[in-house]
Structure 1
Amino acid sequence: MTELLDGLWQASLWLAVGALLLAALRPLLVSLGGAGLAYRSWWLLPLLLVTLLLPLPRAAVLQHVPTVPLKVVPGAVDGLTGQSLPWVLLVLLAWALGMGICLLRELRAQHRFERSMGPLRARADGSWQASGDPGLPALVGLWRPRIVVGPAFDQQFTARERHLILQHEDNHRRHGDHWANGFLLLMRAVFWFHPLLPWAARRFLRDQELACDARTIGPQPALRGLYASTLLKAQLVHPVAPAVCHWRSQPVLKERIAMLKQSKRKALLWVPGQVLVVGVCVGMGAVAWASQSGAMADGVAVAVMDREIQVDKMPPPSYPKSAVEQRQEGVVTLRVEVDAKGHPSDVRVLGATNPGVFDAASIAAARSWNYRPAMKNGKPVAGAVKIPITYAMDGNEDGQ
């Protein structure tokens, strides 16, 4: 459970760093490659999440792994370990509850939007006409996205305006923007506690609309005036469905029209813009990946250390209540990998004479101990230590 909390903390930190970096780079990206380049730069955030899931090379393991034995008897229980697990459990329960509430709220909003459209009727132009208008035209759905227009679509817009609107929504579909919105919905549920995520989500959706406008009007620049007037002609409402690509977007209307008025970008600036985005994504992803460990191992086994790993504070784990009641004894042998900063990066069970009885208590205790890293050539390095923990009743040494 602590691994999950550590992962959430690391992911939240890097999401904040990535969002702030994109906000700082956005003016430069827009000047180099327009709205499309700024929208593509948002790939940085899912890339950071993926890199945090990639495994690191194993820490350089000592040819001689030091052993630090420990014995536990009923009554020799340190309260720290016994109380840490409930707090972790409460935090995880609060996170899971918040995620469930947020996900349910978003899905209900999506369902309410789709239900308010009423029955749909297929049109000759490939779109679908709704009997209600909760905020149409829009690209609706994830698995089977459909362009849905309102009941007064033909009366409200001319043929050329209808063609531009359908082109815009079809651009959303062909470039997978509906999938991006679905992923955003999931991220908002998982990281519901993140203070920067609502702000980043609004900026992402804004860049999505600007990029779609640029793709739609790019091949036909002579229609910019008509496109802008079509934006103004629609009744403006705020989007109410999380997984819908809306034509109407009042919060960014002025920026969308202003972007249409800008002159066409020079082709030569497109290349440095792409290089900048790729460089930022690769560089930040590499830093996030390497941050999972205090030091990257060189992959070569170390023969001699100036100092082996030491454990400064080693309060014994709790003797499980069920084991005490059943007078169970056993030995759990742990392997603890300690990074160059003295943090336990990995704790796993090498063997147990009574599997499953003492494993959880042993791992929780090992993660709470204070370690001093091994030293090589006067510098701290990553390494490993073997810790056999004997659980014995009444001081018996041979209880296993």
Structure 2
Amino acid sequence: MASNELLQGLVEATLAGSAAILLVLVLRRPLRRAFGARAAYALWLLAPLAILATLLPAATVDVGRTQVAQALVLPPVFAAPAAPAQGGLDGSSLLLGLWLFGAAASAAWLWRTQIAFRRSLGPLLPHGDALRAQATNAGLPATLGLWHPQVVLPADFETRFDAVQQALVLAHERRHIARRDAWANAAAALLRCLFWFDPLFHLAAARMRHDQELACDADVLAAHPRQRRHYGDALLNAQLALQTAPLGCHFGFGHPLKERIAMLASSVSTTRRRAGSGVLLCMLLGGGYAAWAAQPAVPVAVPADGIAADIVLRVDEEAPRALRIVSEADKPFSLKTDAGGKHFAIAGTVSRIEHQGQPALALKMDIDEDGKRIAAPSLVVLSGKPAAVQLGSEIQAKDGSKAFKGLRLDVTLTDASASSQTLSVKPAPTKSDTLQPGQVLDESRALHPPRYPADALKEGKTGVTVLVVAIDAQGGVIDVKVERSSGDARLDVAAQEAAEKWRFNPAMKQGQPVAGKVRVPVEFAMDEPADAQVGERPARIAATMPPAYPAAAKKQGISGNVVLLVDVDARGKPTRVTIQQSSPAGVFDAAALDAVRQWRFEPALKQGQPVAGRVRVPLGFGPQGGAGNGSDFYSQPTADARGS
């Protein structure tokens, strides 16, 4: 176990033990008055129970279930190189070393005290079933020994106590042996050594031994109820144990004797003692559970090659729920939950991929609500970096306040296998690497649309391939690379082949066109079967303008996609524009709608005549990464391949 984990466990045990001791110190006297001395003595069990409770496994983070929507892919944040390991001991190791030294010194001191007391007694001679010391020691009579405890009497035992008192003293010490009180004293000494730095444990040991003697007095008086006066005289004749053995039980322990003498005049009925036992049991169980429950919840352990998904689920304005999924790469997982009166089920997989030259994680999910599929989002994020998924939007209440209506997931994926790896810093892109704001020329895209591979079309494969296209100052294509795969190599190749034939509007700098790079998403999607008759075609885009990138999304570096459905009349004018799909919901919707409403379209043709039709328009929004500061963004229509 690491030194910081040991130190954390020590702190938790100290807090739990100290809290239990304070509680016992407050309750011991009221409990003794109500239920007798034995109940007060037994209450000291609460301290070790609280400490032991912290050693039990803490509660793990619950795994629940949920609902989702489209995916938000956050831009990667590159990690700095790991700092080189520093020589020497860290702070936690030094503190643990100090603690061990203090514990060893405390144990040595207590052992020395025990040995010194034993040596002060001199030779011990048999005296019936007890032992007699050769000295009139102030700590006698007493019970000494753990494995074979024996009563040790002072040399003047017969002269100091009369016959009745002698019998009562021996009954007292034998009761210590029967109850194994020496072991309780040994446990108290062990706790004093382990928690030598906490004065409460030293105070508790003295108070516990006083309650121990009171409980033993109560047992003896219960067996000899008519001998209270003689027992009081025996207490007065006993010399107070100014020097005691840490593991011994001394008849004269405790100063002053007033409390022990006063107890002789009181008695507790059998009914009250039984009630006290029930109250004590509840207090011990409740205190132990409270100490265990106070430990911070421990997340489900992640195997060395596993992947953890920490999810915070919010439904409408309800309180969030923290969930955790632990899975292996490419192995299916599932979880379920009830929220807002509905039942949600999520099934999916997490895969290790490469994203923009960095190791990343891809999370694919299928979301069911009351048994019906409502979404199939995908996330691509770096290990340990947060992402968000939401389905719904903000609504305005009657009082003017805004509230979210729907479901939101904040997801953080952590790859345990990558925790020990060091990621190198990716240098800021040079001028030639800067992704420029630019668009595919409409005429070029119309002449060379992406061709849907026949076999992929037959299999119903769909997806979005994100390309990075290097262009020269004239808008010609120099190189095309796949930045993010659609998940099907055939679609990626088709997208590359089409992009190599396109021409672009290059970016301008100081009024002059310059070379650069452009990010182009290419979507492959299924359409309704097209009519192959001559003179018929669907409506299509004629002229576009780029949407404005929302300032808030730009500031936060958020990227996403919006898919619009545009109703076009026979004149090519958009009459109705609606959102079919949005990720993240509500972030880019307004910008997309404002832009597309100003586009020009070619109407659909039927029997050679223009008629009303519908166009599906996918738009991509994302950071360009220019100048290495994330200040340049693109927002442009996605090149579209249709299959039917």
TM-score normalised over the length of structure 2: 0.45
Aligned residue identity for 2:415: K
1:281 alignment counterpart:
284
Offset of 1:82 from its aligned partner?
4.6
2:185 is the counterpart of 1:156: no
CA distance in structure 2 between the partners assigned to 1:200 and 1:280 by the alignment: 18
Check conservation: 2:61, 2:297, Cα contact below 8 A: no
CA distance in structure 1 between the partners assigned to 2:212 and 2:388 by the alignment: 50
2:223 alignment counterpart:
219
CA distance in structure 2 between the partners assigned to 1:182 and 1:11 by the alignment: 19
CA distance in structure 1 between the partners assigned to 2:409 and 2:247 by the alignment: 49
Q: Could you list the per-position Cα deviations for residues 55-108 of structure 1 after superposition, in whole angstroms to 9, with x for gaps in the alignment?
A: 134434589xxxx998775xx517xx8599521111111111111111000000
CA distance in structure 1 between the partners assigned to 2:389 and 2:88 by the alignment: 30
1:16 alignment counterpart:
18
Offset of 1:239 from its aligned partner?
3.9
Select 2:208's aligned residue among 204, 209, 220.
204
CA distance in structure 1 between the partners assigned to 2:36 and 2:201 by the alignment: 24
CA distance in structure 2 between the partners assigned to 1:390 and 1:48 by the alignment: 36
CA distance in structure 2 between the partners assigned to 1:168 and 1:236 by the alignment: 16
Aligned residue identity for 2:185: N
Select 2:271's aligned residue among 251, 268, 273.
268
Check conservation: 2:143, 2:173, Cα contact below 8 A: yes
CA distance in structure 2 between the partners assigned to 1:222 and 1:273 by the alignment: 24
Q: What is the root-mean-square deviation of aligned Cα atoms in Å?
A: 3.8
Aligned residue identity for 1:116: S
Offset of 1:132 from its aligned partner?
2.7
Listed as ranges, the matches of 1:301-320 within 5 Å are 306=313
Helix, strand or coil at the partner of 1:277:
helix
Select 2:173's aligned residue among 166, 169, 172.
169
CA distance in structure 2 between the partners assigned to 1:142 and 1:272 by the alignment: 32
Report the more deviating stretch, 287-296 or 86-95.
287-296
2:263 alignment counterpart:
259
CA distance in structure 2 between the partners assigned to 1:373 and 1:172 by the alignment: 65
Of Structure 1 and Structure 2, the greater strand share is in 2
Offset of 1:161 from its aligned partner?
1.3
Helix, strand or coil at the partner of 1:249:
coil
2:213 is the counterpart of 1:184: no
CA distance in structure 2 between the partners assigned to 1:221 and 1:195 by the alignment: 38
Q: Could you list the per-position Cα deviations for residues 212-270 of structure 1 after superposition, in whole angstroms to 9, with x for gaps in the alignment?
A: 000011121110000001111122232421111001124141110011111x2122222
CA distance in structure 2 between the partners assigned to 1:248 and 1:372 by the alignment: 67
2:83 alignment counterpart:
77
Helix, strand or coil at the partner of 2:103:
helix
Helix, strand or coil at the partner of 1:251:
coil
2:66 is the counterpart of 1:37: no
Check conservation: 1:36, 1:214, Cα contact below 8 A: yes
Over 3 Å counting, the alpha-carbon distance change for 1:203 and 1:382 in structure 2 is farther
Offset of 1:28 from its aligned partner?
2.6
1:386 alignment counterpart:
415
Select 2:93's aligned residue among 86, 89, 104.
89
Over 3 Å counting, the alpha-carbon distance change for 1:390 and 1:191 in structure 2 is closer
CA distance in structure 2 between the partners assigned to 1:379 and 1:188 by the alignment: 51
Offset of 1:195 from its aligned partner?
2.4
CA distance in structure 1 between the partners assigned to 2:408 and 2:229 by the alignment: 66
Select 2:146's aligned residue among 142, 148, 153.
142
Q: Could you list the per-position Cα deviations for residues 355-399 of structure 1 after superposition, in whole angstroms to 9, with x for gaps in the alignment?
A: xxxxxxxxxxxxxxx998999998999998334145569989xxx
Over 3 Å counting, the alpha-carbon distance change for 1:374 and 1:10 in structure 2 is farther
Select 2:132's aligned residue among 124, 129, 133.
129
Over 3 Å counting, the alpha-carbon distance change for 1:304 and 1:167 in structure 2 is closer
Greater C-alpha radius of gyration:
2
CA distance in structure 2 between the partners assigned to 1:252 and 1:164 by the alignment: 20
Aligned residue identity for 1:99: A
Check conservation: 1:62, 1:384, Cα contact below 8 A: no
Aligned residue identity for 2:51: L
Over 3 Å counting, the alpha-carbon distance change for 1:133 and 1:102 in structure 2 is farther
CA distance in structure 2 between the partners assigned to 1:10 and 1:89 by the alignment: 17
Over 3 Å counting, the alpha-carbon distance change for 1:30 and 1:395 in structure 2 is closer
Matched pairs, number: 324
Runs of 4+ in 1 over 6 A off after TM superposition: 68-72, 301-304, 370-384, 392-396
Of Structure 1 and Structure 2, the greater helix share is in 1
CA distance in structure 1 between the partners assigned to 2:408 and 2:115 by the alignment: 59
Over 3 Å counting, the alpha-carbon distance change for 1:268 and 1:117 in structure 2 is same
Check conservation: 2:18, 2:200, Cα contact below 8 A: yes
CA distance in structure 2 between the partners assigned to 1:97 and 1:51 by the alignment: 25
Aligned residue identity for 2:291: A
2:6 is the counterpart of 1:4: yes
CA distance in structure 1 between the partners assigned to 2:407 and 2:50 by the alignment: 34
Aligned residue identity for 1:277: L
Offset of 1:296 from its aligned partner?
9.4
CA distance in structure 1 between the partners assigned to 2:411 and 2:26 by the alignment: 36
Check conservation: 2:121, 2:135, Cα contact below 8 A: yes
Offset of 1:304 from its aligned partner?
6.8
CA distance in structure 2 between the partners assigned to 1:253 and 1:83 by the alignment: 58
Offset of 1:291 from its aligned partner?
1.6
Listed as ranges, the matches of 1:40-119 within 5 Å are 40-60=42-62, 73=81, 76-77=82-83, 82=86, 86-119=90-123
Check conservation: 2:135, 2:155, Cα contact below 8 A: yes
CA distance in structure 2 between the partners assigned to 1:44 and 1:218 by the alignment: 25
Offset of 1:23 from its aligned partner?
1.9
Report the more deviating stretch, 169-178 or 194-203.
194-203
